[in-house]
Amino acid sequence: MVVAAGAGMGIDSGLRFGNMGSPEAFQQRPAAVWGVYGHQLNLYRAATPHAGFGLLHAWGQRMQQGCFVFTSNIDGHFQKAGFTPARVYECRGSIHRLQCADNCKGPIWSTTDLRPQVDEAACEWRGELPTCPRCGALARPNILMADDWQWNATRSAQQRMLLDMWLDSVQAPLVLEIGAGRAVPTVRNFTRRMQLRGSRLIRINLHEANIHNPRDIELALGAKQALQALEAHLVSQGSTNHSKEKADGDAPRI
Ligand SMILES: [Zn+2]
């Protein structure tokens, strides 16, 4: 099973990522942009992934080949919900990683040691701004921004390589696409490529389901509601404990 997640997956955890600005803004107004980032990081650290993440994790563990996640979200919630980091591809990076703002090709490092002190009223970072351990330039989150020529894609590329290796080892895994809109088509493009490889699709999208393909399933619901409905269906079919294999026509089974 492949989980292909867009912005609609994170919304039910109560998080909506604010505009991080541009690489230029980090250079021109570093205290202000770091203030926004520090505030967001605090919120993301405190947030709990909604119940849908746990369901996906449990289903993935029952799959013979396991589960891989393709996500455009930067919240790190799949890992927080128990997914193995080596089975998550974050195509836009992560709010929990930092890189050099000049992209000196140095390391990407974790925010674990970062304790954001933000003046909420002024929306400014207080104290010294984090810097690159290699060259001493300003640090910035390892998140892909608009017109981002300084984006360090090393970590993301490694994750992508693991995804491609896993895809080579499995046959047409079911794609569970969740909350991926047309506006940012990265996730939808991935889904399309998987369909061309023979994968079946369950698309969960509150406003833009519309698969128009009788072989596949669309659920015009929010992420958490749809996943809980799928779990209720699985329980009612008795397939949560493999007690019954149900021939269900052509509909994808998970
Ligand atoms: Zn550097």
Average pLDDT in the chain: 90
Q: What is the DSSP letter of 191?
A: H
Ligand 1 centre to CA of 4 (Å) is 32
Instruction: List alpha helices for 138-210, DSSP H.
Output: 154-169, 186-196
Ligand 1 centre to CA of 101 (Å) is 7
pTM for the whole thing?
Answer: 0.90
pLDDT digits (tens, 9 = 90+) for 190-239: 999 999 999 999 999 998 877 677 888 999 999 999 999 999 999 998 86
Q: How many Cβ atoms sit within 10 Å of the Cβ of residue 90?
A: 28
Ligand 1 centre to CA of 119 (Å) is 26
Q: How many Cβ atoms sit within 10 Å of the Cβ of residue 69?
A: 28
pLDDT digits (tens, 9 = 90+) for 31-89: 999 999 999 999 999 999 999 999 999 999 999 999 999 999 999 999 999 999 999 99
Nearest one of 124, 128, 99, 127 to 111, comparing CA atoms: 99
123 is in an annotated binding site: no
Spatial distance between the Cα atoms of 49 and 76, rounded to a whole number of angstroms: 9
Ligand 1 centre to CA of 147 (Å) is 19
The answer, yes or no, to whether residue 184 has pLDDT greater than 90, is: no
Distance, first Cα to last Cα, the chain:
8
Ligand 1 centre to CA of 139 (Å) is 8
Ligand 1 centre to CA of 150 (Å) is 11
67 is in an annotated binding site: no
Ligand 1 centre to CA of 201 (Å) is 42
Domains of the chain (ranges, CATH numbers): 2-248 (3.40.50.1220)
* Whole-number pLDDT of residue 245: 44
100 is in an annotated binding site: yes
Spatial distance between the Cα atoms of 223 and 231, rounded to a whole number of angstroms: 12
Ligand 1 centre to CA of 48 (Å) is 32
pLDDT digits (tens, 9 = 90+) for 139-157: 999 999 988 999 999 999 9
Ligand 1 centre to CA of 132 (Å) is 5
